[in-house]
Amino acid sequence: MRKASPKELKTIANRLRQDVIEMLTRAGSGHPGGSLGMADIFAVLYFNVLKHSPASPNNHHRDKLVLSNGHICPILYASLARAGYFPLVKLKTLRRLNSQLQGHPHNLSLPGVEVSSGPLGQGISQAVGMALAARLDKREQQIFCISSDGEHNEGQLWEAVMSAKKFKLNNLIVIVDKNGIQIDGYTKDIMPLDPLKKKYLSFGWQVIEINGHNYKQIINALNKARQTKAPVAIIAKTILGKGVSFMENDFNWHGKAPNKIEAEKALKQLKNAV
């Protein structure tokens, strides 16, 4: 796909955020906070960085994206639809009975969905397996994994981090959504993670810290990570609920869908921001 410019990416991310609000309001449930916070990174991935083709979603040489924190799948669904993987009208079916767009993604339901996810802390393990398989098959393929900061509470995640170093997986890039919030509150109160950068470095990874809403930083970090001869963790500082003022940095919006009045207010803000 043609690489979108930072200006175009800003417009795309704004549209993705509107899709998320519309989807969740219609469904009456879901997770807006993380979805909105990761919109800029998803826009960069699907419209600038990833080597992928909506017309050939199972191409063996495509890059793969593992969504470990599957509850933010609305932003994944919106990105896939806007990229052309399936018709936009399907976004209206989020969380409906028998819909292909469930509250957590299922990899056999939709083109472009690489893994099923729900239980947190599993995605880096899945990505490690994919990266190893790509090496064994001699494929020039990059494996990207989106992981939340909250799921770094899971012990298995760190076992996967150790494995990536052991096998020298230079085709693995983990993007940590560091918004400082999880379902019960602030990560610093529930289970402090810092110094997260030093932890990854001590496990033998390369680490890049970025502002997760700065397009140039996101693009540069991802392109640099592609060239690094070790597994890379990109720690992206994001704002939960980004773009909607009454949702920003409020953990109550981790998993609560807006009602119609709230949605109208949110959409008005997003449309005025274009």
Fold of the domain built from segment(s) 6-272:
Rossmann fold (3.40.50)
Residue-averaged pLDDT of the chain:
96
Chain segment 64-108, per-residue pLDDT in tens: 999 999 999 999 999 999 999 999 999 999 999 999 999 999 998
The DSSP code for 142 is -
41 in Cβ contact with 236 (< 8 Å)? yes
Q: What angle do CA 251, 14, 9 make, to 5 degrees?
A: 120
Confidence label for 204 from pLDDT (cuts 50, 70 and 90): very high
Using CB atoms within 10 Å of the CB of residue 99, give its burial: 0 to 12 exposed, 13 to 18 middle, 19+ buried: middle
pLDDT category of residue 189 using cuts at 50, 70 and 90: very high
What residue ranges do the domains of the chain occupy?
6-272
Secondary structure of residue 66 in the 3-state scheme: strand
Give the tens place of pLDDT for each residue, 1-20: 689 999 999 999 999 999 99
Phi, psi values for residue 130, rounded to 5°: -65, -40
For residue 175, list its beta bridge partners: 146, 234
pLDDT at site 118: 83
